[in-house]
């Protein structure tokens, strides 16, 4: 009971985090995207056979999936989850939700450690010297006293309160909740990077924690590719920034760096080959599908220019180097822009929301204030949080802007800075009356924001985004499974999707992994994506062939109005707005005169 009393606030925050991440986890977000299905089916295959869908025994450090070569940490966590919960949507999303909760507590620990330094508290010290006694009079301190049994010091109040606010902001963060409820490996990075940074700061005085820090950072490299660009920069800057505070032998640090490098070595061949570079080669504007459009635009503009100006001038003005540079700068700015965080996130709602922002608008002024004060006060948190913000978009900007899965490891730096801004603003208020008014207004604003988030997340977003979230595949393959015995062939058009719908079939039909490995007919596109052609009765085609070429006992699955027959479909599947996603035709009926 004493432990609960002393830690009541953080336990309450963790409880809120659990509720917002686990309630209706299997059904919200609506649908089940291709990456989730890939993790789920390959984990199922490993549990059944010890091999992934390609027949590779316990793949490491990456598995091929549908050609994007995903890293394996989330795969094996999903396998463990399926061992306990079975093969279902909840089990596949469980690791992400669990580590989302862990990230809230890790944020509390890191923030508390970051702001224990006294050197950057000029504003606080000035207020105390003027006799303000701010926090001893505030409601926040009273709450803190309640959580610590009345035992507190001024220093503990500062970092404890900021840590509690930061953890609470992450617990209710729309962005972090959305990330935690999707089976995406990038969400795990938020926890591993946060806790590893905390261990690093603790390790400045206690060398054994340096080992934990480096182990956590190494694991991050095996979680998601975004860490490959972010962490070398981040770790280098942090070590350099805190070089004078090391109280551990340099030999011990060198041993840990060597250990980390040895643990990283198995990943090196993947990093240097197509397995590691697949997403960059497939999706970046430098070498991915967007490159063709950029080249065409450059050539067209250069052609128009040459009609009026010298060739050399047009070549210097319109070329790949300048275009790529301007595109990258634009993407980088976009990944740190107001629109990305505080406007409607994404029309499709993918890994985010379509009708609301991923960050609460009330956080914006405190984010700006927090950044300003970190720089002005030269607090030790500045050495961690500002590089964190600036380094995250570096890798993501090669593929575009606004992809929340690629930039969500910017959390919890945003929430920590906002918490610092809120604390310092309250501390600057001299009047107890205005201080209390502000706390009341802020509390009402936060409660109102969370109350609005709940219907947005559970009702509004599913309604508007279901067709973009791969909704309907579960219903489709359940229906087709009930008809398999009646038909000789089932033809599914790839125009419905970009070729990954076969993974939805494997997952929801729970196709026997050994059977799939032996009987799958597939090929790879020019850019490395895997395309399944057939498995058993199922054919996946670029376009529906003429019905004269199909057996009579055939079902055709196509998108809405993709094909036209004189007879209507025998079955349709609609999204939550009532718009048709899939049309299913019986060839025997279509062939009737």
Complete DSSP assignment for 143-167: HHHHHTTT---HHHHHHHHHHHHHH
Interatomic CA distance for residues 476 and 152, integer angstroms: 59
pLDDT at 46 over 90: yes
The average pLDDT across 518-544 equals 90
> d(Cα 230, Cα 208) in Å, to the nearest integer?
24
Domain that includes residue 363, residue range: 2-31+99-272+330-462
Q: What is the mean pLDDT of the chain?
A: 87
In a domain, 92, yes or no: no
Averaged over 259-269, what is the pLDDT? Answer: 92
- pLDDT band per the 50, 70, 90 thresholds, residue 289: low
Q: Which structure tokens are listed for 23? A: 């309630």
Closest of 406, 359, 20 to residue 186, by C-alpha: 406
In the numeric block, the tokens 């969500």 are attached to 408
Tokens of 121: 């508290």
Cα 370 to Cα 577: distance, rounded to the nearest angstrom: 42
Residues 454 and 556 in one domain: no
Question: Is 252 a member of any domain?
Answer: yes
Domain assignment present for 325: no
390 and 436 inside one domain: yes
Residue with tokens 């999706």: 283
Work out the number of other CB atoms within 10 angstroms of the CB of residue 164.
Answer: 23
pLDDT over 60 at 363, yes or no: yes
- Give the residue from 318, 339, 373 where a domain finishes: 318
| Residue 302 in domain | yes
Residue 453 included in any domain:
yes
Half-sphere exposure of 375 (CA within 13 A, CB side): 7
Q: Residues 235, 284: one domain?
A: no
Which pLDDT score is estimated for 589? 87
Question: Does residue 60 lie in a domain region?
Answer: no
CA dist., res. 388 & res. 407, Å (int):
11
Question: With 50 as the cut, is the pLDDT of residue 32 above it?
Answer: yes
pLDDT for the residue 255: 87
DSSP string for residues in 57-120: BS--SEE-TTTT-EESHHHHHHHHHHHHH-SSHHHHHHHHHHHHHHHHHHHHHHHHHHTT-STT
Residues 6+ apart with CB under 8 A from 444: none
Distance from the first to the final alpha carbon of the chain: 79
* CB-based contact 49:263 (threshold 8 Å): no
Do 297 and 248 sit in the same domain of this protein?
Answer: no
Q: Which segment of 8-17, 291-300, 308-317 scores lowest on mean pLDDT?
A: 291-300
Same domain, residue pair 154 and 235: yes
The domain tally of the chain equals 3
Q: Which residues contact 334 (CB under 8 A, 6 or more apart)?
A: 340, 397, 400, 401, 402
| 115 and 184 share one domain | yes
Which pLDDT belongs to residue 306? 83
Q: In this predicted model, what pLDDT tens digit does every residue of 152-175 receive, in sequence order?
A: 444 458 899 999 999 999 999 999
Among the ranges 65-69, 73-77, 497-501, 519-523, which has the highest mean pLDDT value? Answer: 73-77
Cβ burial of 190 (10 Å; 0-12, 13-18, 19+) is: buried
Dihedral over Cα of 536, 540, 541, 543: its sign: positive
User: Among residues 432, 462, 492, which one ends one of the domains?
Assistant: 462
Same domain flag for 257 and 220: yes
Confidence category of residue 143, pLDDT binned at 50, 70, 90: very low
Q: How far apart are CA 558 and CA 563, in angstroms?
A: 7
335 shares a domain with 288: no
Cα(331)–Cα(394) distance, integer angstroms: 9
Same domain, 340 and 426: yes
265 and 284 belong to one structural domain:
no
Q: Is residue 378 part of a domain?
A: yes
**Burial classification of residue 13, based on how many CB atoms lie within 10 Å of its CB (0-12 exposed, 13-18 middle, 19 or more buried):** buried
Specify whether 263 is located in the same domain as 377: yes
Q: If we measure between CA atoms, which residue out of 578, 588, 557, 561 comes closest to residue 479? A: 557
Q: Is residue 39 part of a domain?
A: no
Domain boundary among 438, 462, 486: 462
| Residues 6+ away with beta carbon under 8 Å from 497 | 34, 470
What region does 402 belong to: left with phi over 0, alpha with psi -120 to 50, or beta?
left
Taking only the tens place, the pLDDT of each residue in 369-388 is: 999 999 988 778 888 999 99
pLDDT at 127 over 60: no
Average pLDDT of span 132-138: 41
Residue 67 region, left (φ>0) first, then alpha (ψ -120 to 50), else beta? left
Same structural domain for residues 213 and 284? no
Question: What CA–CA distances, in Å, run from 393 to 223, 337, 404, 405, 453?
Answer: 17, 11, 10, 11, 26
pLDDT at 4 over 80: no
């Amino acid at each position: 009971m004493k432990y609960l009393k002393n830690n009541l606030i953080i336990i309450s925050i963790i409880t809120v985090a659990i509720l917002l991440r686990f309630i209706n986890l299997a059904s919200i977000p609506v649908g089940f995207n291709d990456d989730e299905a890939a993790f789920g089916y390959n984990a199922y295959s490993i549990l059944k056979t010890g091999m992934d869908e390609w027949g590779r025994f316990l793949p490491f450090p990456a598995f091929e999936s549908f050609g994007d070569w995903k890293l394996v940490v989330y795969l094996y966590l999903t396998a463990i989850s399926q061992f306990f919960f079975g093969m279902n949507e909840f089990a596949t999303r469980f690791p992400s939700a669990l580590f989302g909760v862990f990230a809230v507590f890790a944020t509390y620990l890191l923030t508390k450690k970051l702001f224990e330094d006294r050197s950057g508290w000029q504003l606080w010290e000035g207020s105390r010297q003027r006799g303000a006694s701010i926090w001893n009079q505030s409601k926040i301190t009273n709450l803190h006293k309640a959580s610590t049994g009345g035992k507190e010091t001024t220093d503990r109040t500062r970092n404890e309160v900021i840590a509690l606010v930061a953890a609470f902001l992450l617990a209710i963060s729309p962005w972090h909740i959305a990330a935690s409820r999707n089976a995406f490996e990038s969400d795990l990075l938020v926890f591993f990077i946060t806790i590893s940074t905390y261990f690093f700061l603790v390790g400045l005085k206690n060398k054994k924690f340096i080992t934990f820090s480096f182990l956590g950072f190494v694991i991050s490299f095996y979680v998601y590719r975004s860490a490959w660009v972010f962490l070398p920069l981040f770790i280098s800057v942090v070590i350099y920034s805190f070089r004078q505070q090391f109280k551990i032998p340099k030999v011990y640090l060198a041993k840990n760096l060597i250990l980390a490098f040895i643990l990283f070595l198995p990943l090196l061949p993947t990093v240097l080959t197509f397995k590691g570079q697949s997403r960059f080669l497939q999706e970046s504007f430098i070498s991915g599908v967007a490159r063709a459009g950029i080249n065409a635009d450059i050539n067209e503009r250069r052609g128009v220019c040459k009609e009026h100006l010298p060739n050399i001038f047009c070549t210097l003005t319109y070329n790949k180097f300048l275009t790529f540079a301007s595109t990258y700068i634009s993407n980088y700015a976009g990944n740190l822009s107001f629109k990305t965080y505080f406007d409607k996130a994404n029309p499709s709602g993918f890994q985010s929301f379509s009708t609301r922002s991923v960050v609460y608008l009330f956080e914006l002024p405190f984010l700006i204030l927090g950044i300003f004060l970190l720089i002005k006060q030269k607090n030790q948190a500045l050495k961690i949080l500002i590089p964190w913000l600036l380094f995250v978009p570096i890798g993501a900007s090669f593929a575009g802007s606004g992809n929340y899965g690629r930039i969500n490891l910017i959390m919890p730096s945003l929430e920590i800075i906002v918490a610092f801004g809120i604390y310092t603003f309250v501390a600057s208020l001299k009047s107890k009356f205005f201080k209390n008014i502000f706390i009341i207004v802020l509390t009402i604003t936060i409660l109102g924001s969370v109350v609005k988030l709940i219907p947005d997340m559970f009702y509004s977003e599913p309604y508007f985004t279901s067709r973009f979230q791969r909704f309907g595949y579960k219903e489709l393959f359940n229906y087709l499974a009930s008809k398999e015995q009646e038909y000789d062939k089932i033809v599914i058009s790839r125009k419905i999707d970009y070729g990954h719908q076969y993974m939805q079939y494997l997952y929801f039909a729970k196709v026997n992994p050994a059977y799939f490995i032996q009987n799958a007919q597939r090929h790879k596109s020019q850019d490395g994506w895997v395309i399944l052609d057939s498995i058993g009765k199922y054919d996946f085609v670029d376009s529906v062939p003429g019905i004269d070429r199909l057996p009579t006992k055939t079902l055709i699955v196509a998108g809405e109005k993709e094909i036209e027959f004189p007879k209507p479909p025998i079955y349709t599947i609609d999204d939550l707005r009532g718009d048709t996603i899939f049309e299913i035709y019986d060839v025997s009926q279509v062939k009737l005169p």
